Structure 1
Amino acid sequence: MVLRPPVEPMLAQARETLPSLGPGRMAAQPKFDGFRALLYTPLRTGDPVLVQTRRGALVQDRFPDLTAAARSLPNGLVLDGELAVLDPGGQLSFTALQRRATAGRNARALAAEMPAHFIVFDVLQSDGQELVDEPFARRREVLEALFADHQLGPPWTLCPSTTDPAIADEWLYEWTDVPGVEGVVLKSLTGRYQPGVRAWTKVRRRNSTEALVGAVTGSLHRPHVLLLGRYDTTGRLRLVGKTVPLKPGPARDVADHLTAAGPGHPWTGVRFTASWTSRTPLAPVLVDPVLVAEFSADTSQDHGVWRHPLRYERLRPDAADTDVPPFGEPQ
């Protein structure tokens, strides 16, 4: 049976720590911070190249540079990977990727300005033959042969893979210092590709750091989510992220220290949304931005702002706003 879209990508379940790879059992790959996508090359000459998102939408018209490059790939391929865009400094930029992913009539102009890259970590079909029932080790062999035989280079990148625990540790704790690398994904060498199933394991690196509580959702007496900020070099308080909902105990502790904002709060009139990609407006309660909160976060930052929810850890009554890292710091 030939694979055609939509195919649900295989998913990963999160865990906090890196498990033992085990001899000959698991492979680790860096987890890049991009848009998950499946790329389908034509079965026959003249058929279109298709690019499918994780949720099944076809977006090849937004990535004309990739579809043009895919014409040189063999027919009948289905590749699984991450769409990514580099900024002028050569770093992965999620903001630039968002612009590409939502491009309309200006898709070709954006492609020339900020070319897309495809970081390939799996192959589901080769030469029109399904590989989903093959073990990951075999699929990896096919993928490595594809890159070697066709001497593939940009916009195609072969995702690194290792069975060495020391290298996996290095990827998790050192590579994640580089913007765009979130952690590692672990895959069974004998596992088949299971569409829509969370049978892989992902481990994101998390760091603890501080920010100022600038606002809350809920109320002063029962805060639900904290909106955290840091001052930039001009003295402006900038939002860096929002926490996950507070549990009852921490919520009571925070409530005991909150003070309603007075006139001239730096976020007066500022519009906030529920999440990074949401347009749903929030109506937070502004508070005096003097309370320092410690939180843990993964490495998914874009221009100083964390995209994923932050985990509140504790208040830092011993710290002042001058002890908080400035806006734009990675931690």
Structure 2
Amino acid sequence: MVLRPPVEPMLAQARETVPGPGVPPGGLAFEAKFDGYRCLLFTPPRPGGPVLLQSRRGSLIQRHFPDLVRAAQQLPPGLVLDGELVVWHEGRFSFEALQRRAVSGGRTVGQLAVTYPAYYIAFDILQAGGEAGGEELLTEPYERRRAILEALFAGQGLTAPWTLCPMTTDPAVAQEWLTSWTEVPGVEGLVIKGLGQRYMPSARGWFKVRRRNTTEAIIGAVTGSLHRPQLLLLGRHDEHGLLRLVGRTVPLGQDAARQLAGHLHPAVPEHPWTGVRFSSAWGSREPLDAVLVRPELVAEVDADTAIDRGAWRHPLRFSRLRLDVTIDDVPRFGEGTTPAAG
């Protein structure tokens, strides 16, 4: 059977720590986790057919990435890869540039491909390429799929824009990656897979562990009410003294909500976020019903490393109020985070 889109990608469930031996069974493989766009790549089974790029949600996006389509002409026919689309710009991974490319149209498509070239980081192979259209590999263990993927890169001499995702079976090396590699913006953490696992479309059979840091931000608004806050909207001052939104928390637990309720005060008329509309999530247009508060409280939060244009793309976790510091002690907008203890 030749695979055709849409193929639902296998997914990962979040964990706080690296799982121990035997979870999943058969030994573990650790891959670097990159902050890009999940993408399945399909080469045509016969010459002259179209190269297809499928997003995680099943959309075909190859028209936005003509540079990758051209580069895919060197790949064997009938190949299906699973990986991550990224853009490397000015010495770092740029999610902003990747987003611009993913929504580009018309003449800007080619211009952006030159300015922000895309790279494909392959971490799995679902179908091996070949003259007969390829061998479907979904039921093969990860260990064999990885060997076939490595042989593809070696045999074809693949270089940029193709990159083989780093993988190790050594937990000590993986821990070092989690500690040091995630200092690079765009490298989020690890994906952990079982060496004996088959590829299960749509199943959350893998694990992901993100590097998380503690840092501080100013509470500028809440949802719910001052007496029963549900989540926090957080900001930092930029170089001009303007309070800029940097993220929102996950829903607060009861203890945290009670702790905050005794310290929150209604906003004064000149609140810097007066008239601002907030969205419920990154990239969403769904409005969030927010209550502005006096921006005088500092929250310590637990954050991952996915930052874009000075703001966190994923929700933060409230740790505690920092009544021992003032808003002047909070890092400025665009500054980094502090590694969490331990």
Match of residue 105 from structure 2:
104
Match of residue 19 from structure 2:
19
Corresponding position: 1:301 with 2:304: no
Q: Offset at 1:137? A: 1.0
Corresponding position: 1:253 with 2:255: no
Deviations 1:101-138 (A, max 9, x none): 11121212211111111100000001211011111111
Q: 5 Å matches for 1:230-309?
A: 230-309=236-315
Q: Offset at 1:207? A: 1.0
The amino acid of 1:238's aligned partner reads R
Of 64, 67, 82, the residue aligned with 2:66 is 64
Match of residue 193 from structure 1:
199
Deviations 1:188-223 (A, max 9, x none): 111111111111111111111111101111111221
Tell me the TM-score normalised to structure 1 length. Answer: 0.97
Secondary structure in 2 matching 1:199: strand
Structure 2: distance between partners of 1:172 and 1:78: 29
Match of residue 45 from structure 1:
47
Match of residue 219 from structure 1:
225
Deviations 1:135-173 (A, max 9, x none): 111111111111111111111110000011111001111
The amino acid of 1:41's aligned partner reads T
The amino acid of 2:256's aligned partner reads P
Of 158, 165, 179, the residue aligned with 1:159 is 165
Alignment: residue pair count: 330
Question: Does the CA contact (< 8 Å) of 1:213 and 1:227 recur in 2?
Answer: yes
Match of residue 32 from structure 1:
34
Question: Does the CA contact (< 8 Å) of 2:211 and 2:305 recur in 1?
Answer: yes
Q: Offset at 1:24? A: 6.8
Match of residue 176 from structure 1:
182
Question: Does the CA contact (< 8 Å) of 1:24 and 1:163 recur in 2?
Answer: no
Question: Does the CA contact (< 8 Å) of 2:238 and 2:333 recur in 1?
Answer: yes
Structure 1: distance between partners of 2:331 and 2:72: 44
Match of residue 340 from structure 2:
none
Structure 2: distance between partners of 1:79 and 1:317: 51
Secondary structure in 1 matching 2:146: helix
Structure 2: distance between partners of 1:144 and 1:324: 46
Q: Offset at 1:18? A: 1.1
Tell me the TM-score normalised to structure 2 length. Answer: 0.94
Structure 1: distance between partners of 2:205 and 2:325: 43
Secondary structure in 1 matching 2:93: coil
Question: Does the CA contact (< 8 Å) of 2:26 and 2:194 recur in 1?
Answer: no
Aligned CA-pair RMSD: 1.3
Structure 2: distance between partners of 1:169 and 1:21: 14
The amino acid of 1:94's aligned partner reads F
Deviations 1:62-86 (A, max 9, x none): 1111111101111110000001011
Match of residue 74 from structure 1:
76
Q: Offset at 1:32? A: 0.4
Stretches of structure 1 that go unaligned for 5 or more consecutive residues are none
The amino acid of 1:296's aligned partner reads D
